[in-house]
Amino acid sequence: MENPPTVRTASADPGPQTAAGKVLWHFTVSLDGFVAGPGHAMDWMTGLSFRPGLVEEYAGTTGAVLGGRDGWDAFPDAGGIYGGAWQGPVFVLTHHPEDVRPAPGVTFLNCDAAEAVRIALTAADGKNVEVLSPTIGRQLLERGLIDEIDLHIAPVLLGDGIRLFDNPGGVPVRLELLNGDDRTATLDVRCRPVTADAG
Ligand SMILES: NC(=O)c1ccc[n+]([C@@H]2O[C@H](COP(=O)([O-])OP(=O)(O)OC[C@H]3O[C@@H](n4cnc5c(N)ncnc54)[C@H](OP(=O)(O)O)[C@@H]3O)[C@@H](O)[C@H]2O)c1
């Protein structure tokens, strides 16, 4: 007897994000899993197009941002989050807050990542906390404190830089897909090098 065909109902569109006091690990990521190039380079994102309304959607649902010292030192501009469309409390984790330059709206914390996320959730006042750091996201994932991972996958290969999830020797972390109603569906992507004959 033949096996019945598997019904796949994954969708490329996860639907709009909602403000519900969630902890989101939110990134634009290269096809090979990097969120930044070497030296925190972000120029690879130039020219990408995002779905309409995406910036407004996340600016409207985010209540606080939690980041790490390296990202802050590379881009020390809280007013530039979502191109300036979002204003709110920003928390930066660092082991040496004594040598940071104070910035309006930014609180530098030296504490466990779980404590930092508690502080950020209180400040977010019912909206979401965006964790804009791979290293802090990994710490929170280990503690079961990431509610959702929101990724915008860019058709670019970086090959080097800062990975979304860098955990050599670790075990696979199983996720369930929130797009569509098949939680285990793979997502199909088809692309080609831009130097190829577009035919
Ligand atoms: N693609 C995208 O959508 C996107 C969005 C946002 C950011 N990014 C990129 O993400 C990158 C962030 O880099 P990253 O994750 O390697 O660095 P990061 O998280 O920004 O910084 C790591 C540093 O944060 C501090 N830290 C982390 N956990 C801590 C804890 N529990 N307690 C105290 N301090 C703690 C430590 O700094 P110290 O020990 O030195 O204090 C650690 O070395 C940046 O390049 C940024 O541009 C990409």
The model's pLDDT over 83-136, given as tens digits with 9 standing for 90+, comes to 999 999 999 999 999 999 999 999 999 999 999 999 999 999 999 999 999 999
- 110 CB less than 6 Å from ligand 1? yes
- 30 CB less than 6 Å from ligand 1? no
Q: Is residue 97 part of a domain?
A: yes
CATH number for the domain that contains residue 126: 3.40.430.10
Q: Is residue 133 part of a domain?
A: yes
Q: Is 155 helix (H, G, I), strand (E, B) or coil?
A: coil
Cα separation of the two ends of the chain: 43
Burial 161-191 (b: 16+ CB within 10 A, else e): bbbbeeeeeeeeeeeeeeebeeeebeeeeee
Q: Is residue 35 part of a domain?
A: yes
Whole-number Å distance between alpha carbons of 124 and 91: 11
Q: Is residue 112 part of a domain?
A: yes
pLDDT per position as a tens digit, 37-85: 999 999 999 999 999 999 999 999 999 999 999 999 999 999 999 999 9
Q: Is residue 62 part of a domain?
A: yes
- 62 CB less than 6 Å from ligand 1? no
Number of domains within the chain? 1
Q: Is residue 168 part of a domain?
A: no
Q: Is residue 170 part of a domain?
A: no
Q: Is residue 139 part of a domain?
A: yes
* Sign of the C-alpha dihedral computed for residues 108, 62, 33 and 115 taken in this order: positive
What is the pLDDT at residue 11? 73
Dist. CA 12 → ligand 1 center (Å): 28
Structural domain containing residue 106: 23-163
